[in-house]
Amino acid sequence: MHAPDPPLKLSVTPLPEQTPMPWETVAQDRVTRDILPQLSEGESLSVMFPAYNDAHTIGSLVDWSAKILARVARDYEIIVVNDGSPDQTAAVLADRQQKYPFLRVVTHEKNGGYGAALRSGFAAASKTYVFYTDGDGQYDPTELVVLLPQMVEGVGMVNGYKLKRGDNWVRVVVGRSYHWSAKLLFGLPIRDTDCDFRLMRREVLESLTLTSNSGSICPELVFEMNNSKMKIMEAGVHHYPRVSGTSQFFKPKRIIASLGKLLALWLKLILWRTGGRILRALGLRK
């Protein structure tokens, strides 16, 4: 007679702990305030995060977003685009989906780039307004309440601008250089192209044709939004030091590549379109 086989021991990888955020005390105060801006009857809100290797932060961002959304909107959703993360981002999101039925996860099997992640998130959004910020936790998602009062009739986008950048001086210089390059090339009417903290009207967003797969989607988005003739409003928001992971942008090769993509976007959006208008005016193109 054989002894019974011992019970199988399933190996379960524990979820990574969420790194404490430097803005959590401020966020807690914000979500418990008696008076917060409210969406009107019939209005709804999509909160979206592009995520790449953000396993230690994305869970907290979803948690805090859920808290603030419950206070300002009756109808809402959270969308996270997992852009081919090789870390445990997928596992953290699967855990949060069990807790939040309004959390939707869009998964890229392979990393497609920042622009590709944003475009997937925009396409998945189904509510009146779409807010997005990054999955690394350098912005406090509850601060979206600063943008909401600016979203009035005739406004297509409320663009955040950093009151102070929470990075070292090298990143500050690179960030401002990128902003001014984009501002001058595309004639952008905002003070901080590099601030990924934006609230947009979905019907206007859906009318735009966005093609960038990289970070150049930010100037492309603002340029196309400005061309839509809808107003762009601005609001100051806080930017915090990165608490987990490493940025994909601040590396010499990436910076050079980003500037090259910015120039390529200028050729397509400005030079090619201007040349086309001239040719049509001369009757040389339909």
The domain containing residue 48 runs over which residues? 32-257
Q: Where residue 80 sits, what CATH number does that domain have?
A: 3.90.550.10
Look at 19-23, 64-68, 245-249 and tell me which has the smallest mean pLDDT: 245-249
Name the token pair of 190: 């905002």
Q: How many domains does the chain divide into? A: 1
Apex CA 221: angle with CA 171 and CA 250, to 5°?
A: 20
Q: What is the mean pLDDT of residues 163-170?
A: 79
Query: Which phi and psi angles does 277 have, rounded to 5°?
Result: -65, -40
The answer to whether residue 277 sits within a structural domain is no
Cα gap 206→225, rounded to integer Å = 11
Q: What is the mean pLDDT of residues 157-186?
A: 84
How much is the pLDDT for 273? 63
Residue 179: pLDDT band by 50, 70, 90 thresholds?
confident
How much is the pLDDT for 89? 97
How much is the pLDDT for 8? 46
Residue that wins the pLDDT comparison between 81 and 245: 81
Q: Across all residues in the chain, what is the average pLDDT?
A: 88
The answer to whether residue 139 sits within a structural domain is yes
The answer to whether residue 42 sits within a structural domain is yes
Q: pTM for this one?
A: 0.86
Pairing outcome for strands 45-51 and 76-83: parallel
The answer to whether residue 225 sits within a structural domain is yes
Cα gap 257→234, rounded to integer Å = 28
The answer to whether residue 37 sits within a structural domain is yes
The answer to whether residue 181 sits within a structural domain is yes
How much is the pLDDT for 1? 47
The answer to whether residue 3 sits within a structural domain is no
Q: Minimal CA–CA distance to 220: which of 265, 166, 278? A: 265
Is 70 exceeded by the pLDDT of residue 276?
no
The answer to whether residue 83 sits within a structural domain is yes
Residue 10: pLDDT band by 50, 70, 90 thresholds?
very low
